[in-house]
Amino acid sequence: MAKRFQQIEAPHRDFIGRQQIFFTASAAGQGHVNLSPRGADAFRIIDAARVMYLDRTGSGNETAAHLLADGRLTIMFCAFEGPPQILRLYGRGRMVNWADPEFAGLIEAHYDGEVPLGTRQLCLLDVSLVQTSCGYGVPLYAHQGPRASMENWHAAKGPEGLRAYWEENNLESLDGLPTGLLDR
């Protein structure tokens, strides 16, 4: 039932394009494993072997810490509507911060030059394996739309408040690992 592919193929692009949510999973050699849901509007396919997403400000910054410590990242999409399917992208990831020279070019090329308020960094994944599986165990859910909560929270904080939040809450992981957020 599971199939493996060396790169992202056209049917995978189509499937990803129809999804509303994806999940990221990361871990360092020791400590907690992180699993986070993310809105698919932040996700972009760069080419057959590279993807990225906008990493927006949240309560923690575990993925960034894990990528600095270990580099492994898995991104999973699963169909909550329509035919069942799960698609996982395995590989090595890294964060691209505002100060990195490639940040502006990636934003221009893949997000029409728009950086939504609350964007902390970009997460890039070099895909080494694509795996699809049946998804029969995934329940059906109907998408109702995005929540306004994150946008409202970012707007209430403003750019200066967000930076202060990063300094207080996003520079270390749960396990005390550095995230590298403001290092560059």
Instruction: Report which of 72, 47, 34, 180 is spatially closest to residue 120, judged by C-alpha positions.
Output: 180
Task: Give this prediction's pTM.
Answer: 0.96
Instruction: Report which of 7, 72, 3 is spatially closest to residue 33, judged by C-alpha positions.
Output: 72
Pairing state between β 86-97 and 119-133: antiparallel
Identify whether the C-beta of residue 28 lies closer than 8 Å to the C-beta of residue 66: yes
What's the pLDDT score for residue 179? 97
Tens of pLDDT, residues 98-121: 999 999 999 999 999 999 999 999
- Low-confidence stretches of the chain (pLDDT beneath 50): none
Cα–Cα dist 90/87, whole Å: 10
| Superfamily of domain covering 3-169 | Electron Transport, Fmn-binding Protein; Chain A (2.30.110.10)
What's the pLDDT score for residue 10? 98
Domain limits, the chain = 3-169
What's the pLDDT score for residue 102? 96
What's the pLDDT score for residue 82? 94
Which residues sit opposite 122 in a β-bridge? 54, 96
